[in-house]
Structure 1
């Protein structure tokens, strides 16, 4: 039973006989991962920065749907290829060239682990009647253990969290409306294009951040799983969960303002009540953060293995090696959380949002290549061979990636850098739109005019005898 529960695969192809589950599993996983306190804070920022209630909500819906669609397109790649998300980047950037976006992805995972641990650590500390620091450490260890067990426990956690957190948010919504007049709040509607674009960017960026690892959690689905079903269940779970949380955040910010931002966890728990109810809500906050933090840890582990294996030629990983990689992510994230729990995380959050600038062009290149250029067909053995058809470094794709990053800078707005075109747009940050469109168009023009791939076996999705031999080998 333990062997069946503990995951054996990492960056290698998942054989057909080990595939299981249905596309609906993506709904519960992403619903549970988005019904959490950080999504609430993200929604609140739309109002804190000056937006009205009605148009902030509309902007958040649009951003969640647009960003969620991009994220869900990545999810649909999982059942088709049976590979984790970032290993696919080797088809675009080369077996070793994929390390360029991967290094930034790993940094993002460590940062998200840290910021999540701070909020969850406070809740765990309250539950265990210990200090904030002890709560952070306990939370980090539990996160690492679940990431080591892997795929099955991650989805089980998502199913559990989707039910428990949904019930908690229904209760909190009722309590919030007891303190506020909804009809009065909804009268706060004065359209401002910059504030509308800000709300849309907040939610779209939230969804785009899932892109580098979303296929990690769909790759065990049977190959016959409908791509459309995977897409729609992923999109509906992620968009519904995040919009639910962000809507709550908008209403909380409109009624509580600085009281909420000064102590997000304390305010939410206080809104719910005291005694056993307070304990339950602390548990819910920790559960929501645990769900997404396990995803961050697991994704960081996959990205580290993908980066190193491109140079070492490694295709399989021992359980001891798996635990070691995950421990590195846990230690690094916990260290950052402990160092920044009092003052650093506000600035670090801006840094993490800045990092999203580097993931938007990656996402555009990956999706254009997979759906429009390669037509959902990759030569899977070549993804592990620097001498194969994808090569070690694909400098043309890396150049497009660099152009995509640079194209966003004039439109980027963060606490430590603001582009020259932000002010003419009234302060709106539309960098992610520019990054997606410009990079996708440039890569498509370049790739469709490039010479055909070297002669060899036909590109495959990994079906047939070729995949069986490859699966046996890895």
Structure 2
């Protein structure tokens, strides 16, 4: 990395030059497995059962959703080595330099929301390890650890992902064995018949989980050499993200089913304590709490780092810069973590539940954005970018791009009648018996509007244009060996 003499990552939203590229795509597996094999994913899996699905059909639905959403997420990751750019900077090629600010603002809100709920759960685990009852102790310790690692940046977040993967593999294996040996899980499998509404809800939970990584997944593959195979980047990312999430969600679906059947305690009221009780007393329980903290620390660092990248992308749209100082980096990350810690400290349980629902509602903004970004990269521009123009509102991509903005707006709004959230249930959803197919509608509508419009108004250069004095490395081998 540039500035390698210091611990703090020097790069921000600028393109990573060839001389600073390093690593192997297998690192994407450990990062994304560690980010997904964690307590919030367990809770997400349990929610599928809480919403009425049989545990077996919930697991199947979650798998379908994880595979579909994971494929979209991994396609974003595959862009990183070729472009060497943060994910949301490349969105300026579709939305315009100013237009990209619109989805970015909502993305930051979502990251703060997920960070705050993750801080609550991790704070509980830290308190259980330390034997203290004051919630603020664990929350503040976890917030400080998140800020430190997010400030240090890319290299250290990847290292944390490797640690979280090792702990997650051991811990999840132990918990899985504990569940199937201590309880008769057949009592919660195939108890209910198949129901489309609850099954589609499980699919949406899995797909929505994966789609939340889309706006920053390429941030963690952009340091790979430009000749890195897109296929390998895709599959390592996909395997880590889907594998970690599905394992955690399966465990959550079983725990939710057991809890509903009055077996093994009340998981929904005390998720962290339930996992510790399942592990047993003593050092094994401490290890499980450590696994929970490490897994959440990984994903919270991703949230803080991603929020920083989005915030800088917004600010530099105005000042036309392509870099920010380390001081600005530190200040922004501390502000994001500070906001998430304050929410975790002062929010009541009822408020947190409402806030989680608000965050889930924001997931509707990711489907249209993903469609626009992927269609442009793989079908319209075909990875040809004018890099300097991404930082210039008067350049090739302009301030606003009507094709992307109109398609995006329609793609979001058209989902509203199909939503099935705690805050709002759309009229079409009621006619469908409660099935949430909003994200599928968003995909179809956005694709139908954006693809022909963008093809007719293609702004991509004939060949990629790099910053002055910089020559790109040989192109990656597109989606092969």
TM-score between both structures, scaled by the size of structure 2: 0.94
Give 2:245's aligned residue: 242
Alignment check: 8 A CA contact 1:92 1:366 kept: yes
Task: Call closer, same or farther: CA 1:433–1:155 in 2, change over 3 Å.
Answer: same
Secondary structure of residue in 1 paired with 2:267: helix
Change (3 A) 1:218 1:230: same
Aligned-residue Cα RMSD (Å) equals 1.8
Hey, what does 1:31 align to over in structure 2? 33
Residue 161 (structure 2) pairs with residue 158 (structure 1)? yes
Mapped pair 1:231 → 2:234: yes
Q: How far did residue 312 of structure 1 move?
A: 1.0
For 2:384, the equivalent position in structure 1 comes to: 377
Partner of residue 476, structure 2? none
Tell me by how many angstroms 1:425 deviates: 1.2
1:277 paired to 2:284? yes
Q: Using the alignment, how far apart are the partners of 1:334 and 1:395 within structure 2?
A: 38
Cα displacement (A) at 1:127 = 2.0
Q: Does 1:345 align with 2:352?
A: yes
CA contact (8 A) 1:8 1:319 kept: yes
Partner SS state of residue 343, structure 1: helix
What does residue 459 of structure 2 align with? Answer: 453
- 2:147 touches 2:334 (CA, 8 Å); kept in 1? yes
1:422 aligns to what SS in structure 2?
A: helix
Q: For 1:212, what is the secondary structure of its paired residue? A: coil
2:202 is matched with 199
SS at match of 2:52: coil
Aligned to 2:149: 146
Match of 2:479 in 1: none
1:267-346 equivalent positions in 2, closer than 5 A: 267-346=274-353
Of 4, 8, 14, which aligns to 1:12?
14
Instruction: Please say if 1:67 is aligned against 2:74.
Output: no
Q: Map 1:378-417 onto structure 2 (within 5 A).
A: 378-417=385-424
Cα offsets for 1:388-443 (capped at 9, x unmatched): 00001113321111100111001011111111100111101111111122112210
Report if the CA contact (8 A) 2:81-2:224 is conserved.
yes
Instruction: Find the aligned partners of 2:336 and 2:462 in 1 and give their Cα distance.
Output: 38
Question: Does residue 424 of structure 1 match 2:431?
Answer: yes
Contact 2:46 2:256 in 1 (8 A): yes
Shift of 1:161: 0.5
Shift in Å, 1:449:
2.0
Instruction: Tell me the SS of whatever aligns to 1:127.
Output: helix
Give the corresponding residue for 1:133.
Answer: 136
Change (3 A) 1:256 1:461: farther
Distance 2:463 2:129 in 1: 53
Tell me the distance in 2 between the aligned counterparts of 1:372 and 1:193: 33
1:360 paired residue number = 367
CA contact (8 A) 1:75 1:231 kept: yes
Moved more, 276-285 or 93-102: 276-285
Whether the 8 Å CA contact 1:73–1:367 is kept in 2: the answer is yes
d(CA) in 2 for partners of 1:180 and 1:373?
Answer: 53
Residue in 2 that maps onto 1:262: 269
Is residue 81–residue 461 contact of structure 1 (8 Å, CA) maintained in 2? no
Q: Are 2:80 and 1:83 equivalent residues in the alignment? A: no
When the two structures are superposed, what TM-score results if normalisation uses the length of structure 1?
0.95
Q: Following TM superposition, by how much is the alpha carbon of 1:468 offset from its aligned partner in structure 2, in angstroms?
A: 6.5
Tell me which residue corresponds to 2:55. 53
Gaps of 5+ in 2: 474-481
Q: 1:174 to 1:468 in 2, by over 3 A?
A: closer
Partner Cα separation in structure 2 for residue 327 and residue 464 of structure 1:
33
Question: Equivalents in 1 of 2:55, 2:311: separation in Å?
Answer: 41
What's the counterpart of residue 108 of structure 2? 106
Structure 1's unaligned 5+ residue stretches are: 470-474
The alpha carbon displacement at 1:166 in A equals 1.1
Give the counterpart of 1:174 among 177, 186, 196: 177
